[in-house]
């Protein structure tokens, strides 16, 4: 089975979960944490957030120990709390009153201030998270399974010189690059993002202020600005460089 085919099978599994928003239940062995069905909310799915990307790549193979070599940050996330992936769409807080910087401490932006701790705490961990290659102008998609609506999407990018492999994201590390208007209740909220003047490894940080009540979502996506816009190519490139010759041989057609 090729790495491309392996990635495609995982993508199909996640697509099925999106079609049946209330029915995503993890199939796990008895020696692992049993996951509850994901509550239907939402998240940025392109470029994927850290936990959604881990689910997309490993959801059907999350017990595979080779993940530790191929995708070590996802390995750490699955070991910390598998429910961060099964509940990829639940990283939110309530009753923030728009005071995002006052409520979410520096170093905890990617976990929403350690909301539902310890579930999402590992999302703040610096390291070699798989980054999607994107051009300087690209399209962001947020998938809202519950159709909450959006008062706005507020989109930030980490500043030049910030290194997500060694630093946890703080408010002084990000620039606001876009704030959208409101969206009606629908399945996806999409917007163009212009990162002209930025390049290289970065974190895209999205705040989705849901409309149905005061419920903001805090969403970190790892990106490589100025690269190819093909997510599958990006994942396969990471896998190819990280995997040993034996591992590659295993996936040979």
Would the pTM of this model clear 0.75, i.e. be above it? Answer: yes
**Domain span including residue 246:** 3-250
The predicted-structure confidence for 116-168, as pLDDT tens digits, reads as follows 999 999 999 999 999 999 999 999 999 999 999 999 999 999 999 999 999 99
CA 187, CA 208: separation in Å to the nearest integer?
Answer: 14
CA 145, CA 93: separation in Å to the nearest integer?
Answer: 17
Q: Which uninterrupted H or E stretch holds 74?
A: helix 72-80
The predicted-structure confidence for 11-54, as pLDDT tens digits, reads as follows 444 444 444 433 333 333 333 343 443 456 999 999 999 999 99
Q: Above 80 in pLDDT, residue 225? A: yes
pLDDT at 228: 64
Q: 3-class SS at 208? A: strand
Which DSSP symbol is given to 94?
Answer: S
CATH number of the domain residue 185 falls in: 2.70.50.50
Q: How far apart are the first and last CA of the chain?
A: 5
Q: How many domains does the chain fold into? A: 1
Q: Which residues contact 79 (CB under 8 A, 6 or more apart)?
A: none
Burial class (CB in 10 A: 0-12, 13-18, 19+), 167: middle
Q: Above 90 in pLDDT, residue 6? A: no
């Amino acid at each position: 089975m090729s790495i491309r085919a392996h990635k495609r099978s995982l993508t199909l599994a996640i697509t099925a979960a999106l079609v049946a928003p209330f029915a995503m239940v993890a199939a796990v062995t008895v020696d692992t944490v049993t996951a509850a069905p994901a509550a239907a909310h939402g998240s940025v799915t392109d470029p994927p957030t850290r936990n959604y990307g881990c689910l997309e790549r490993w959801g059907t193979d999350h017990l595979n120990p080779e993940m530790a070599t191929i995708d070590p940050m996802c390995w750490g996330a699955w070991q910390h709390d598998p429910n961060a992936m099964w509940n990829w769409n639940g990283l939110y807080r309530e009753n923030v009153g728009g005071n995002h910087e006052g409520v979410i401490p520096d170093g905890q932006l990617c976990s929403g201030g350690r909301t539902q701790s310890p579930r999402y705490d590992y999302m703040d961990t610096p390291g070699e998270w798989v980054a999607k290659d994107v051009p300087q102008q690209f399209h962001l998609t947020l998938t809202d399974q519950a159709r909450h609506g959006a008062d706005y999407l507020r989109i930030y990018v980490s500043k030049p010189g910030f290194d997500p492999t060694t630093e946890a994201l703080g408010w002084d590390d990000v620039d606001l690059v876009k704030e959208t208007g409101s969206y009606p209740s629908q399945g996806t909220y999409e917007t163009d993002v212009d990162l002209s003047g930025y390049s290289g490894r970065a974190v895209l940080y999205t705040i989705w202020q849901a409309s149905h009540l005061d419920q903001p979502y805090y969403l970190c996506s790892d990106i490589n600005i100025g690269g190819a816009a093909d997510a599958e190519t990006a994942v396969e490139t990471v896998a190819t460089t990280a995997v040993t010759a034996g591992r590659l041989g295993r996936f040979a057609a």
